[in-house]
Structure 1
Amino acid sequence: MTAVRHQLKARRVQFNLDNTPLHWLPDDPFATHMINGIHLLLPAGELWFCRVYNQALPYVTDAQLRADVEGFIRQEAVHSRVHSKAEQYLVQHGLQTDEIREKSEWLFGHMLGDAPFGLGFLKNRLLEKQWLVIRVGLVAAVEHFTGMLGQWAMDNKSWDKADPVMADLFRWHLAEEVEHRTVAFDLFEHLCKTQLGFYVSRQALMAIVFPLFLHFLAMACRGLAGQDADREAQRVARQSLLGILAELQRAGRKTENVPTFTFLVAGTLRWLSPRFHPVTEGNTEQALDYIARSPAARAAAAQTMH
């Protein structure tokens, strides 16, 4: 286990997106809609993280890990609220958001709720702990991607040309993902009974999470792009899943506003190693340095001091 070496704290940030254009990444509707879809996918997912982790807390016997998990929960709750409020930005630009958001709510609230796969007869004391550990493992697999994407965002320079408020929103969020990137992995390991069980389980769960992650990103991207009158956006909306992934690869190389598909695949392959640990996937000091200069995080810190 690799404990977070400083206390994780929630930062009560706020973002005013009233003047943010729909294409907040200039001349790049594909990257804009790919990233904007996250506003609709994450609120339900991050609240689900919090519910699952609150259920897991009684099983945590290590004091430092417990503190890390509690800090993780507080940060994820703020993330969920920020992206939920950002949905209004999409609505103000005339986009319908209900269908995409409801699919995310169905996945996290129904399929991955307390009744396994939404089947009430499976909700019993015999399966309760096992289903909880499985869901903790699913969070760990998802957090591998958010940690990777967080470090990518810390290294990214192309967003310097983007709308500054939206760029700060995502950079602040992703910096916190780098900051707490080890917590989900460590909690899953803590709850697994054996190292072999931990390794086999995390590979099986990644085999589920990676394709689901890609499917939901593509679904949200197409759903938003299809409502955009821009010709390039309309072309994106007609793409299949494979077409979206090819577009991701192309855009990642050309504009660098999104990571490439091969970047995601390479990160997934690193997960396969028995020696893998997310501590090597990011630079905490770099993330904290961004948070220290983030306009929204600085405003939140100043407000706390008053």
Structure 2
Amino acid sequence: MEYRHLGRTGLQVSPLCLGTMNFGPETTEPDSYKIMDSALDSGVNFFDTADVYGWKQGEGVTEQIVGRWLEKNPGKRDRIVLATKVYGKMGDGPNDQKLSAYHIRKACEDSLRRLKTDHIDLYQMHHIDRGTPWEEVWQAMEQLVREGKVLYVGSSNFAGWNIAQANSLAASRHFMGLVAEQSLYNLNARMVELEVIPACQAFGLGLIPWSPLGGGLLGGALQKASEGRRASERIQKEIDKYRPQLEQYEALCQEIGQSPADVALAWLLHNPVVTAPIIGPRTQEQLDGALRAIEIKLTGDVLKKLDDIWPGPGGQAPEAYAW
């Protein structure tokens, strides 16, 4: 496993990040333990979760599963880089969500309790909060860092100008600011190439793509449909919408002898701004498949063909739409 620096930090993480969103709702707790064990044994040291995962308000179901795994395996805490998120609605009170200093402090304490750890390695803002000033956000995060409860701060679903605004103010406060951004990014969702990726490059953030397989669309959707496997209505609509591109894509993958899911991950890993796509395996087999993508080296010719099939916005702004 070749590890990568997380953005401009000295922290080294695996080129794949284990997403835990399925733990609880889709994957049983014992199976979740097995997946975490196997991921760590395979060299994946970057684990991502969120306080809202599990989708039972205020319970932090997925964080609790990760916490019980850590409690059963105390030696493994120092072998992983543990990331979680703050922003989502965790109660019925007016301050039980978003990024006020009040909520950040309480949410962090609650996540630490559920995760059964004394610190969070990467604490990520799950969404921009337009109602809270950055002075308040950074004051709260700085306090958590001083107390040793948080090591690094990241963002998720931020616009490029949000990153610029946040890190410019952080610099004026002599604080490190954001070191990573989690964004929707895959072959079929390339909008972040306009401004988010350039912002990450300029401010030294590592990009952590979520939904790298487009919710299953890029994971061999046509083949799975033809084999009679059940797919969600949403995926069926996506297949109908993108059928010509999917036919070309899956034919290209077959031509180079790689699975569509592996090619989609490998394509992301060819981008130097990308630190680690988030994989969310529901089963051990899905984890094993994702790990194979690390070894795939796509040629320039294949990369060009992928661009032709799944064109991006035309580069970064403003050249993508002006001159």
Q: What TM-score do you get using the length of structure 1 for normalisation?
A: 0.29
Bigger helix share: 1
Q: What TM-score do you get using the length of structure 2 for normalisation?
A: 0.28
Bigger strand share: 2
